[in-house]
Amino acid sequence: MELIKEVVKAFCVIAIALSITEFLLPDFALKRCIRFIVGLIFIVSVINPFLSEGLSLNPNILSKPDLNKLEKLEDNVNKALISDFEKNTEESLKKILTENGYEISSVDIKAKADEYNNTVIEKITVYSDEKAKLIKEAVSEFLETEDIEIEVKKTTSQ
């Protein structure tokens, strides 16, 4: 509590001193610039007690970033994005196939990032006891592609 009182007293003294300095300045073109500088001094004096080491910069802030950490972080983010994509696409595909009358036990999708960092599907495995050809055609029609490997496995082999 005592610290807060001291800080408030210091602010008041600084504000009064800066106001008197500004009042004593004659009217000329640089008065606006001096007002700006006086305002900056007041702001710095208000912020300064809350900084642990005054206005000194931490040299680690300006150091070169660790590229290995950045690459690991990028890899982790990419893996998480691909995992979420796989999960959401599996759920959507299972829902659509079920709505179209197919009995689907589960869907497994394997995706990867291409050279442009786009997520692309490599392989789709559908677990069902229905005819594989019909399910493959339905999946190809839904995804509008023929480039993805589609495999249908019996539910019991899962």
Which tens digits make up the pLDDT trace of 92-138? 999 988 898 888 889 999 998 888 888 888 999 999 888 888 888 88
Q: State the virtual CA torsion across 94, 96, 100, 105 in degrees, nearest 10.
A: 10
CATH number at residue 72: 3.30.300
**How large is the average pLDDT for residues 135-143?**
84
Instruction: Report d(CA 84, CA 143) in Å as an integer.
Output: 18
Same domain, 79 and 37: no
| Interval 56-98: pLDDT, tens | 545 555 566 677 787 888 888 889 989 999 999 999 999 988 8
60 lies in some domain: no
**Can you give the pLDDT at residue 88?**
92
Instruction: Report d(CA 7, CA 5) in Å as an integer.
Output: 5
The DSSP symbol for 12 reads: H
**Can you give the pLDDT at residue 57?**
46
57 lies in some domain: no
Instruction: Report d(CA 103, CA 94) in Å as an integer.
Output: 9
Structural domain boundaries enclosing 128? 68-157
| CB within 8 Å of 100: residues ≥ 6 apart | 138
